[in-house]
Structures are given as structure tokens and as C-alpha cells.
Structure 1
Amino acid sequence: MAPQVFNLPGWQGSGPEHWQSRWELLHGYSRVEQHDWMRPLRGDWTARLEEVVLASRAPVMLAAHSLGCILVSWWAAHSRHTDRVVGALLVAPPDVEREDNRQVLHGWAPIQRQPLPFKSVVVASSDDSFCSLDRASHFAAGWGASLYHLGAKGHINADSGLGDWDEGHALLLDLKHAKC
């Protein structure tokens, strides 16, 4: 059975020009809708991800952006259902332990750093205002994920001008065939 891909947007969601929204239109992927995009609560977001994973009849792949990446690491550290996930694309994880980010995203620190029990790739930019490339590399190492350096693409969102972001989609598809 083919995996079902779920998009996990970050804080404030993903607008119509974001690669996640474009993938939903192009590839039929589903968005994990959260109760409140502006005031994200880690417990609520984690419970929602658990519901979605359990409701899926197919294996699951996760395409996370920003705070969605931190959500995946937290969920994986606490769920008993991680075996349902085939892989995760973790794009532009924010450093929620950095003081300026911590002020905006209350309750998301500390970041879980244990290895994820499924294949994963962290995609990072050298000029992301929410996380340095060094910290993204540190997160990837803790999660047991490979690191893909995209270059200077900001927060790897709609402002990055990626369009349909075929390069990212190829990384996601590669996870389908990889073994943990």
C-alpha cells in the first residue's frame, strides 16, 4: 500500500504559495490541521498528529516545515505508534531554544533530540533567520537524520521562491524507498 503523505505546517500555517500548499494541490497530500496556528500548544498539536496517524489506513510519510519539525521529534519521543511512519522530511526546523524564538513559541523547548525511529532528512538553509545551519546540523545528528543543505534559501517557505519545489519533493520520494 502506498504511503499517505501528511503536511505538518509550522507556526501560522502555510499560505497558498508555500510548497506544502502547492504539494497538496499537485500531489493530493493532506494537511494536518491544528486548532490554533497562531498560538501553538505542543500538547494539542501532538495529540492531533497522533489522531491523524492512527486514523490513516496506509503507512504514513510526514512532510514537516518549521515548528512541524519540532512537533515530529516530540511526537516520536512519546507515541507508541511510530511504526506507522515510513519517513519524515523535516524542513527548516526552528531553534525554539534560542531566546528570541522561545519568546514567541512558548512551551516548545527543550527540543527532543533522541533518534527518530524512521528514516528522516533535515533540509536546512544557510541564512534561515530562525535557525543557524550549525544548529540544524546538530538537530539532524540528534534525530539520526541526514542533513541536506539547500543553500541560502531563508526559512524555506513561500518567501524563498521555491514554487512547486521539485527538489524537496524528490527528497520526500526518496524516503519511501529508504530503509531505516
Structure 2
Amino acid sequence: MASSSSINARCATVLTVPGLNGSGPDHWQTLWEQSRPDTARVELGMWHTPHRNSWVTKLDQAIRRAGAPVVLAAHSLGCVAVAWWAELSPQLPDWPVVGALLVAPADVDRAAAPSEIKGFAPIPRLRLPFPSIVVASQDDPWVTLERARGLAADWGSHFVDAGARGHLNADSGLGVWREGQELLDHVLLDSFETGRHGGGHASTRSLVASEVRRRHDTNGRRGPVA
């Protein structure tokens, strides 16, 4: 028999939050939307000329329409939009977001950042009020591994080194990115096992550590999780 936490986790809505220029047909976010009945995209609009306040407002509207519980699966600039939403939204008792998977956050603060995303600077550095995992690549042109690790520390997120996989987008050849879906499921289960929206960080770390150990035992060597 399935556990109550597993049943509740399957009732959550997963909202994908793309970055600059949106996510094309081969992006893992698009493939998740097509293959997972619990997953839908947040239509932020202005994909090529994003505006911070507009994106945060549309993200908030999508979260409210979905109803609790919501788990966010963000990529690149979408991760920064999630951080801004958490910064600007009141933390009410019925906080609708119970977790987030934040993949390849774009470093909008760096001097060489494209002008289209400069309006999202500075990146909020507050601790997120829900369990979260940050995944970053060693050779991402949009953010260094050290910077991504620092953001994860500030946000209270568990950090996962994905190896040398580029920007973790369609060009990275991830397909449906099953490892990413496993991490997403860890966030889902963690948020419900803790029974509260902001208290699952330690459990998330334990789940991811277990996954790393499992892959090490299976492959006979230590490798990237995602």
C-alpha cells in the first residue's frame, strides 16, 4: 500500500518556470509538461524581453490559480524569478509553494550578463521558506559553479553538482532528464513528510545524499547526480 506522503505528493501541482526565451520542444521542462499529468508551464510572457515585476506577478497568479500544494521546477532566469517571488510575497499560513527544483540559475549580477536580464538584479539572497534543491553544471556559461553553490547556501537549498553538462537545457541532451525528475520527487516527498512548508531542508539533504550513495554503489564510482 502506498504511504500517505506518496499519495499526497501525487496530488501536488508542478509548475515549470522557464528562463529567457522560454523552453523549446526538446527542453526537459517541455518534455515534463508533455509526459507528467501533474505538470504545467507558467506562461510568463515577454520571453525575449522579460520584465521582473511582470514575471513575478504572473508567477504569483499561476501559483494562486493552481491552489496549494505547488512545487516549482525552474530553469535559468526562472530560478531568479522564483527567488524574487519569495522575496516579495507575504509568508502567510496557507503558503502555497511547498518546494522547488532550481536548475542552472542565471547569474544576473555578473558584469557580462545580457542586458535583457539585468533588470532582475540583484539576486535575492534570502533563505527560501520551502525545501529546495539547486542543480548546476561545471561548465555553464551563465553561472559559475562557485556562484551557484553560493546561491544555494543563501537560499537554504541543497546543492547538486551536475558535472560538465552546459546550461542544463535542450543543448545538454538531457531528454526527459530522469535524474532531475528523481530530485523533483525528493522535494515533493520531503515537503509532505515534514508536514509543513518551510521545514524540510534537512530531509531533502538526506534524500539527495541517499541518491548519491545509491548511484555510487550502482556504478562503482562517484559521479554527478544529474
CA contact (8 A) 2:67 2:96 kept: no
1:133 equivalent to 2:162? Answer no
Equivalent pairs, count: 180
1:81 to partner: Cα distance = 5.3
Structure number with bigger Rg: 2
Match 1:26 to one of 8, 24, 35: 35
**Which structure is higher in helix share?**
2
User: 1:1-180 alignment to 2 at 5 Å?
Assistant: 1=8, 2-28=11-37, 29-80=39-90, 83-178=95-190, 179=194, 180=200
Structure 1 length normalisation: TM-score? Answer: 0.96
Q: 1 CA distance for matches of 2:32 and 2:115?
A: 31
Asked if 2 retains the 8 angstrom alpha-carbon contact of 1:102 and 1:109, the reply is: no
**Alpha-carbon distance between aligned partners in 2 of 1:79 and 1:117, rounded to the nearest angstrom:** 11
What secondary structure is seen at the aligned counterpart in 2 of 1:21? helix
Which aligned segments of 4 or more residues in structure 1 are displaced greater than 6 angstroms?
Answer: none
3-state SS in 2 of match to 1:34: coil
CA contact (8 A) 1:54 1:81 kept: no
**Secondary structure, counterpart of 1:61 in structure 2:** strand
Task: Extract unaligned runs of 5+ from structure 1.
Answer: none
Aligned equivalents of 2:117, 2:72: Cα separation in 1: 22
Distance of 2:88 and 2:65 partners within structure 1 = 18
Specify the SS of the correspondent of 1:11. Answer: coil
Give 1:86 deviation, angstroms.
Answer: 1.1
Q: Is the 8 A contact 2:63 2:96 kept in 1?
A: yes
Shift of 1:102: 4.9
Secondary structure in 2 aligned to 1:105? helix
Deviation at 1:89, TM superposition (A): 0.2
Query: Aligned partner of 2:44: which letter?
Result: Q
Cα distance, 1:130 vs structure 2: 0.4
Greater RCO structure (CA 8 Å; 6+ sep): 1
Q: Percent identity?
A: 48
Could you tell me which amino acid in structure 1 is paired with residue 187 of structure 2? L
In the superposition, the TM-score normalised over structure 2's length comes to 0.77
Instruction: Give the superposed CA RMSD.
Output: 1.2
Structure number with the higher strand fraction is 1
